[in-house]
Homo-oligomer: A and B are copies of this chain.
Amino acid sequence: MKVKGFSAAAVQAGIRYKDRLDLALIYSATPAALGAVFTASTVKAAPVLLGMERLRSGKAQAIVVNSGNANACTGEEGMRMARTVGALAAQALKIDEELVQVASTGVIGAQLDPAPFAAAMPRLAAKLSEDSFDELARAIMTTDTVPKIASATIRIDGVEVNLLACAKGAGMIMPNMATMLCFAITDANIAQPALQAAVRSGADLSFNRITVDGDTSTNDTMLCLANGAAGNTLLDESRPEQLAVFTEALHGMFKDLAKQIVRDGEGATKLVTVRIEGAASQEDAVNAARTIANSPLVKTAFFGEDANWGRIIAALGRSGAAFQPEHVAIAFDDALLVENGFGLGKEAEAAATQALKQKEFAVTVRLGAGAAAAEMLTCDLSCDYVKINANYRS
């Protein structure tokens, strides 16, 4: 998969570990429109603060990303280091450093050493190739067990438009955080405000609808570059139908990557869609879905393949969503387990348990309180999750 005018590269820079890809670059032959979403955490890593500052121009031409060090909780020195890394990339690429976005994932609270960046950057720039996005996806992995890539090709006004995105997370390796990074590129010709809106709404429908353990990182970053090389007529809000074709393709990639992240969740053995229907409001639907999807009791029951609807009802009860218990229905895939707030007995439970034994299944909860619906993707909570994160030191 190639996207016109874009190239990528990854190298082993030795930032924290030897012999692994840990520094990568995305480059557009021309300055591109930039859409971006950053962590909602009060504690924002230096590259996030720098990225927010540079997003104001609405443009970028390159993204430099490292693993091994998050450059978070590093204060003014950390900000200087983020600028330095960006400047090193700009120098190697011969572009304006204001057009470089910087992203980091790894250890919190350690200062970046600029030496490995300075040493590796010329080599990295020299390696840029249209075919290297797989390598980039591998370079940003931490406890991820597989690289995560999605792509799409659409036609707009008869012109072929390509989109590609890769992501990492939600994994953490002590003492790293569960950083979520997503980089998307497209050769679409699209106005920046429309791109920003599509990225923002895409985040809400994908990465903001998944949970492995409910934690939010200091470094979560989504960046989307659109360089216009496809040559389509400009997409903006004056052409809602064409814009919708693009937005749908972009959101499809984000949702695909979000699913890949949960499937690869630390210690996860099951991918579960929690769907709320019949909520009084969209906010209620999302809150109810999120509370169930984050409940350790619900997640351990998934791991134990136990159709324990009492835990789901209990999570609902503390979610703040408006509902009458006697109107609640719960199904595991097609197996209806609870109706009018009552369990439907042993046979229904046996059918629900069969659904639970699958690698992937959906829990649908109907609240009977309105017409709003929402989904969250989650995984089970296994012993391996605890082992990975407790990380016994010998």
- CB within 8 Å of B: which residues of A? 39-44, 70, 72-75, 107-110, 172, 174-178, 213-218, 295-297, 300-301, 303-306, 308-311, 313-323, 325-326, 338, 340-343, 381-383, 385-387, 389-393
Contact = CB atoms under 8 A, between A and B. Distances in A.
How many identical subunits does the complex contain? 2
B300 A386 contact: yes
Given A109-B313, A110-B343, A215-B314, 19 more contacts: A39-B317, A42-B319, A72-B313, A73-B325, A75-B326, A75-B342, A107-B310, A175-B311, A213-B295, A215-B295, A215-B296, A215-B318, A218-B313, A218-B317, A300-B389, A303-B390, A304-B389, A306-B393, A383-B386
Q: Which 9 interchain pairs have the tightest Cβ spacing?
A: A108-B310, A304-B390, A43-B317, A41-B317, A300-B389, A216-B318, A109-B343, A213-B296, A303-B390
A321 B391 contact: no
Contacts of A340: 75
A389 B297 contact: yes
Contacts of A39: 317
Given A75-B342, A326-B75, A317 B389 contact: no
Contacts of A306: 174-175, 390-391, 393
A311 B172 CA distance: 10
20 contacts: A42-B318, A42-B322, A42-B325, A43-B325, A44-B317, A73-B313, A73-B343, A75-B326, A108-B310, A110-B343, A172-B297, A175-B308, A176-B310, A213-B297, A215-B295, A215-B315, A216-B317, A296-B385, A301-B390, A304-B392
A297 B215 contact: yes
Nearest to A341: B73
Contacts of A316: 42-43
A390 B174 CA distance: 25
Nearest to A390: B304
Interface centre among A74, A311, A326 (most CB of B within 10 A): A311
